[in-house]
Each structure stands twice: as structure tokens, then as C-alpha cells.
Amino acid sequence: MHQATLTDEALAIKGGAPVRETLLPYGRQSIDEDDIQCVVGVLRSDWLTTGPNVAEFEEAFAAYVGAKYAVSFASGTAALHGAAFASGLGPGDEAITSPMTFAATANCVLYQGATPVFADVSTDTLNLDPQKTAARITPRTRALLPVDYAGHPAEINAFLEIADRHGLIVIEDACHALGAHYLQRRTGSVAHMTVFSFHPVKHLTTGEGGMVTTDRSDFAETLRRFRNHGISSDARQRQSQGQWHYEMVLLGFNYRLTDIACALGLSQLRKLEVNLLRRGEIASRYASAFRDLAAITLPVTREDMTHAWHLYPIQLNLEKLSATRAEVFRALRAENIGVNVHYIPVHLHPYYRDRFGDRAGEFPVAENAHERLISLPMFHGMSDQDVEDVIKAVRKVTSHFLA
């Protein structure tokens, strides 16, 4: 049995002093004076929404990822919904996606009256497994929705090959993966449509916001109409042309991203490469510090990929610990390290259980990972001391619980 030591007595959860005096969140935004001034400039302008900053942000974003078109949305979820709509998903259709994701990835399928179908994930990256996906295809399948879990690109070429054989659309959920590279191509330039999120914990933020990139003009046109009530022109276009007439050509939503948000996005985009570099430095520091720990398994990066490091998810080797994931989680939080868990597999949420039945055990790789996962703090605004605090706390807590 593990014997008590002075280190054990020092655990904050047992009344000892925590590693930090204040909580370090798992992620947060970084806003500087340049960002603030860009937003102030819009507030003093004539346009607060559907103004010039929207098109400028979309064009700059498309150029960055290497896509022909980028269409902004009010959130990553709205962008997913737009992509699901543009793909033609509807009642009677199915779309295959990962259970190891935020619920919005699957929910966008439901929004269209279609059925989300899950396939298990790969053991190393926790991304959707192409072979397991191919086995789930039926005559009702219309789209594939691989997810770039934690910022590691999914095997998009494999999904495109599957899609070509079956006449499907590939929608890449890259909400974690802005700035990642897949076989020397930036994420956002490979799939039929790629979806990004600009939530405050992401690589750049617009407050809330999202984007869909694509090389297909028909998708781009549908996406623009869908986010604007299904109307074929926007208010700024009509004003510049001196026209009042507009036509609703499809049933859309008000999913527009504001000029205020796009101004912030433009400012943040200019700093993206520096932010990505910092996240990579933090990931390298974690890997070096934890390489010798038997208690945890570190995330991997496959050859010919670059990781965007939205998250830094470790997996606990529970067979080597005298504690559950919940106990380790609480101990780290007591040390003021704001760890999180990403994710509860979507099919295990009560709504999905009630709608589709209890399917626990159907996706063993995802479910086994879920029981072991803990996300460590990972954001580009972390200081070197923040990183050292995380390392100290992880080593302190895992050494206490080592069986």
C-alpha cells in the first residue's frame, strides 16, 4: 500500500497550502489595448452590424486558412447549423460524427430534422476513426462530421475518400483547431466545409462567433443567405446600391456576426501566429515535465500534423492510482488549478439517452477515455509561472495517489 508522506500531508484538499493562491482557469481570452481600440472605432462608426468589418474579417480569415470563401456566424454552433443546412441535411437523413465532442456537433444534425449517428474514436488522438465511420454508413447517410479533438486535425483525406465513394459531404468541426496543419495544409482548406469557433477560450475571440470556410461558391452563397433570415442581400448592399427591395429565398435565421465582433476578430487574427507559438511552447513544457510520470498518458501529435493545442487533455492511468478521476480532479481544483473534463460523450447525455436509448458501452474507446480525461490549463495568456504551477500541482497530486 502507498505510505503517507510529507507530500501527502501538504495536499490542499487535506488542509495543506495550495500551490496557487488564486484559481487558474483552464482557458480564457487575451485582450489588449489594440483590440479595445479596434472595437471603439466601430462603436464610433456608422455600422455596428453587417458593415465593412464583416467582409474584411471574412476575407482575411479565408486567406489565412487558404480557402476561397469564409462566412461568419454569430457562434460556432450557428456556423455548424449553417454547414448542416448547406449540406442538404433533412428529415430522414443521417450524419456520422464523434461522441467525443461538445454537444453542438451532433445537435446541428438534429436542428435539420436529421439523425446523428456516432462512430468510435481512435485511441491515440481521440478523433473520429475513419474505418469505424465507414462501417456505420447506410443509404440514409448524407454527411460526415469529423472533429479535430483538442486541436489535433482529423484524418480528413480518409473521410473525403469515404465521402467520394458514397456521395457524401464532409463537414470538419475545427472549432479546436484554428492554425493547425494537416499534411502541410492549414485546417480550413481541406474539407468540403470547415467550421470554427471564436468563443473566448479559443485561439482568437470575437466574444461569441464562428466561421465556415469552403472552396465551393454554392455553399458560400447558401451560408450567407441562411445566416441572414434567408434573404438574398444584406442591408449594407441595399444601401450602397440605393435599393430597398429584398427577397427571402429560403428559411434562414438571424445568425449574423456584428461589425463590433469582426473588428475584434481582425485585431486578434493579426496575433494568431504568436498565440499559436505560445500554446505550442506550453504543450512542450508539459510534455517534458510529465514524461516520466507513470500516472498519466500524454496527448500525441501524429507525423505530418501540427497541433493547435486548444486543450491539453491528459489521461489518468487509473490502474496505477489509488483514486478515481473525480478524486484527482477535486484535488487539483483544491490546488487552484482550474482543470476541466472534455467531454462527456454526447450519446451519454440525458437528452440523447431519452431520444435514442441507453447506448452505454457501444463506443468503448470514447467511453474509456472519458473516465480518464482531465484537461489542464492551456491558453496563450498563461505566464511561465502559471505553467510551473500546473506542473507542480500535477506532480504533487499524482504522487500522492500513486498506488
Contacts 24+ apart (CB under 8 A), 363-367: 363/99, 363/118, 363/119, 363/120, 363/121, 364/120, 365/120, 365/121, 365/122, 365/123, 365/126, 365/129, 366/98, 366/99, 366/100, 366/120, 366/121, 366/126, 367/99
How far apart (Å, rounded) are the C-alpha atoms in residues 79 and 178?
14
C-alpha cell recorded at residue 274? 504568436
- Catalytic residue (choose from 68, 202, 392, 396): 202
Q: Is 213 exposed, middle or buried (0-12, 13-18, 19+ CB in 10 A)?
A: buried
For 204, other C-beta atoms within 10 Å of its C-beta total 27
Query: Furthest-apart CA pair in the chain: how many Å?
Result: 81
For 403, other C-beta atoms within 10 Å of its C-beta total 13
Half-sphere exposure of 183 (CA within 13 A, CB side): 8
Can you tell me which residue has the cell 509561472? 385
* Strands (DSSP E) found in 153-277: 169-173, 181-182, 185-186, 193-197, 210-214
How far apart (Å, rounded) are the C-alpha atoms in residues 263 and 261?
5
Main-chain phi, psi angles of 71, to 5 degrees: -125, 120
How far apart (Å, rounded) are the C-alpha atoms in residues 104 and 92?
20
Question: Is 396 one of the annotated active-site residues of the chain?
Answer: no
How far apart (Å, rounded) are the C-alpha atoms in residues 201 and 379?
7
C-alpha cell recorded at residue 256? 449574423
Can you tell me which residue has the cell 456521395? 167
How far apart (Å, rounded) are the C-alpha atoms in residues 38 and 265?
9
Q: How far is CA 154 from the centre of its chain?
A: 12
Sign of torsion over alpha carbons 284, 285, 288, 291: negative
Give the full edge-to-edge strand order of the sheet including 141-145: 69-73, 210-214, 193-197, 169-173, 141-145, 94-97, 115-118
What is the set of active-site residues? 202
